[in-house]
Amino acid sequence: MTRPAQRKAELLAELEASRAQLSRALRAAGEDLNVAARLKHSIVQQKTAWFTGAAIAGWVLSRLPGRRNAPAASQRPAEALGWAQKTERAGFWLAVLNFLFNLCKPFLTALATRKIGQLSARSDWGWFGKR
């Protein structure tokens, strides 16, 4: 074999070894970053510790002081009652708008699909503006 052909074969072998090493490193990084699988494996392997910890955390959270009760409606100042009525009215209109939007969603989706299809069918249009 000539010297350039030999050098080429060495470089190809080195390139293949680098690719294999990079593939192994990426696979290992992917396994390290898969938190859900690691957590599931940990819970399956150490059930007692996880359930004990959950029970203790639940007990501690149950011992925390609760929120204070709001004063009775008769004890609230008049301006607070006005604010509550405005909030109820706003909540009602928000629910009405949400219902109307859900009702019109199929029409809006069809309209947007049609407009995008028309835009993409134009010959002078490209992904980065006009050609």
Q: What digits encode the pLDDT tens for the residues 64-112?
A: 887 776 655 555 565 656 777 778 888 889 999 999 988 988 888 998 8
DSSP string of 53-69?
Answer: HHHHHHHHHHHS--PPP
Q: Give the type of residue at 14.
A: E
Measured CA to CA, the distance from residue 6 to residue 9 in angstroms comes to 5
pTM: 0.34
CB 131 within 8 A of CB 124: yes
Q: What share of the chain is helix, strand, coil (3-state, %, to 5)?
A: 80, 5, 15
Beta bridge partner(s), residue 130: 125
> What pLDDT digit, counting tens, does each position of 119-128 carry?
777 766 555 6
Helix (H) and strand (E) counts in the chain: 4, 2
Measured CA to CA, the distance from residue 83 to residue 77 in angstroms comes to 10
Q: What is the DSSP letter of 79?
A: H
Ordered by start, the domain boundaries in the chain are 1-58, 83-131
CA of residue 121 relative to chain centroid, distance: 33
Joined tokens for residue 72? 């009775």
